[in-house]
Amino acid sequence: MEKKRIYIAGCGGMLGDAFYQQFKDDYIIKCTDKDVNANWLSFLDFRDYEAYKKDVEDFHPDYLFHLGAYTDLEWCEENADETYLTNTLCVENAVYIANAFDIPLLYISTAGIFDGNKQAYDDWDQPNPLGVYARSKYMGERFVVENARRYLVCRAGWMMGAGPTKDKKFIQKIMKQLKDGKKELFIVNDKDGTPTYTLDFACTVKNLIQKEYWGLYNCVCGGQTSRLEVCQELLKLLGLEDEIKINIVTSEYFAKEYFADRPACERLWTRKLNIRGVNAMRDWRISLKEYIENYYKGYLD
């Protein structure tokens, strides 16, 4: 049987790396990004609608995966128009393209679209985004749900994956401080959420696509946790829990550096994946251990 074809736009980041790993053997894939940082990527700036549409058309895919977005919350607050262009209007364009060629669309949403007033959010809870980033992502999500003929919207939590070169999130920030010789870490105790290992995420998407279970899904690792607990577990995995001091602070401590609104709780519950029986998201501790072993070997030497 001939392999199905997938066009992946915005594939140069940490999530794109995982999609390449998970899909390259079973599908014919074309991975594009405006930042060509790997030999399996080709150039496309999906903000150029005509170029985007033509590139998809020329490839004749069976699916369109739209991954790219601005994810730095502070940058988004200071560059609102550019954020809405990239995170919302380009998603609308992706919907038009997918519908024009009658193919399903994958869109990546975020736990950050909730206001943090609940202890955990399932797939059917009503979002209430707080800042520009969260609004831009939620408006993209809504447009996909309301207008795409067939779609997958998968909401991620605290992303981890791809290692030191592409991971710009919490794990890499801690690892960088350790590599720089820091003996003390300042970690907040007022932010709850759910880590999301990119390889598990991509594997879950693959399950959904193969079964054609279209729709909207929370897609995060198992187990509810906090920034503090994740840091403690990381130090334990590295054998550094007795060498590194954790200073527990509130978000106020980082208010100048991280001034964008963030929900106090971003915990997602993979209720729908569980009910459908297609959840490949493992417990966050298991995924974190695998991530560190596979991507950070020798990093602190």
Give me the residue spans of the domains in the chain.
5-163+194-224+267-282
pLDDT at 213: 98
**Other CB atoms within 10 A of residue 58 CB:** 10
Q: What is the mean pLDDT of residues 34-51?
A: 97
* CA distance to 42, 68, 212, per residue, from 29 (Å): 11, 16, 18
Residues 6 or more apart whose CB falls under 8 angstroms from that of 49 comprise 90, 93
pLDDT > 90? residue 29: yes
Q: What is the mean pLDDT of residues 249-270?
A: 94
pLDDT > 90? residue 1: no
| pLDDT band for position 282 (cuts 50, 70, 90) | very high
pLDDT at 224: 83
Q: What is the mean pLDDT of residues 218-239?
A: 96
| Residue range 87-135, pLDDT digits in tens | 999 999 999 999 999 999 999 999 999 999 999 999 999 999 999 999 9
| Residue range 168-202, pLDDT digits in tens | 999 999 999 999 999 999 999 999 999 999 999 99
Sequence letter at residue 254:
F
Rg of the chain in Å (alpha carbons)? 19
φ/ψ (deg, to 5) at 94: -60, -35
Residue from 182, 30, 184, 204 nearest 108 by CA:
204
Q: What is the mean pLDDT of residues 14-41?
A: 97
Rounded-to-integer distance, Cα 191 and Cα 288, Å: 18
Residue from 7, 147, 135, 17 nearest 64 by CA:
7
- CA 131, chain centre distance (Å): 17
What tokens were used for 242? 């007795």
What tokens were used for 163? 């290692």
- Which CATH architecture does the domain made up of 5-163+194-224+267-282 adopt? 3-Layer(aba) Sandwich (3.40)
Q: What is the mean pLDDT of residues 256-281?
A: 95
Average pLDDT of the chain is: 96
- Taking the alpha carbons at both ends of the chain, their separation in whole angstroms is 47
pLDDT at 146: 98
φ/ψ (deg, to 5) at 193: -170, -160
pLDDT at 69: 96
Sequence letter at residue 269:
W
Which SS3 state, helix, strand or coil, does residue 191 take? coil
CA angle 39–43–44, rounded 5-degree value: 145
Query: Can you give the pTM of this predicted structure?
Result: 0.95
Please identify which residue in the block is written with the tokens 């993979």. 270
pLDDT at 277: 95
Q: What is the mean pLDDT of residues 52-60?
A: 98
What are the strands, taking DSSP E only, across the chain? Answer: 5-9, 28-33, 41-43, 63-66, 105-110, 151-156, 158-160, 184-188, 192-193, 195-197, 215-218, 225-226, 245-249
